[in-house]
Structure 1
Amino acid sequence: MHFSSLLVSAAATFGLSSAIITGISAPATIKPGDGFNFYINTANYIQSVDDIAIAVGIAGGKGFPGALGQVTDSWYLGPEKSNIVTRIPHWTSIPSTTPKGKATYTAAIFSLFGAADAQTLVTYNVTVIIGDSTSTSYVTSKP
């Protein structure tokens, strides 16, 4: 058997996958101080991507393009949360002092692409309502 055949066989056996982050999802309405699941959305991709870290923030109204507003959380992604072809949950919250009304919830994600580890910083955002209860329905960013 050729080496390349063995490699293909091993990849299929061990489930090597390549995935890319495609956006975020958050509750459509969020009560300040309540905890909720924030989701990182993913899809199959042609090469591996090492997702390093994420920071999220909230800003009243439309916020400022490309900015997080008030940073509410950040966390390490690393090998355990890279190249996963399924939504990645993270339990988080926004400060109890966040004013009610329409807001922009933004995530900035730092990743390394391909064999050369080309660095990227990509932002995604969703419009949410800061209200009296946290909804079970979610809004998802557009690609």
Structure 2
Amino acid sequence: MGATAIARLPPKIPERATQIAAIAQLYGVSAATVYRALHCVLKPRTVYRRDHGIPRVLSQPELEHYCELIAALKLRTTNKSGRHLSTVRAIQLLEEYGVEIAQGLVKVPAGLLRKQTVNRWLAEEYRFTLQAINALPESYRN
């Protein structure tokens, strides 16, 4: 009898206790160990955290703004062989010197952005990869 079959039996039924005792004897452990293992197997768990996809350090518009700046830095520093500025170095530049945009100087507080967070947002939200950027059609004016 499997773990789910035992779990379907009501807790007070004698057949459940005999099945647990048989499994405990088969594996050479106590009945309490089988109950603990059964409890761990049958515990429902959520697949994601409740705040999955929502940044915890700062608000989503702020993070998106910083990610856009980092994506622009990476895009502007791409050379002919396809190499570009690393995410870590782009974050360091934003923290140390900042970037001048139309609205003024944007400087990120030190330690606010992490490489993993920025890379995940660039990959998932903006689909920023060099292949995706190079696949975009050239824009032109008439």
Normalized against structure 2, the TM-score is what?
Answer: 0.20
Which has more radius of gyration?
2
Instruction: Specify which structure has the higher proportion of helix.
Output: 2
Q: Which has the higher contact order (CA 8 A, sep 6+)?
A: 1
Q: Which has the higher strand share?
A: 1
TM-score, structure 1 normalization:
0.20
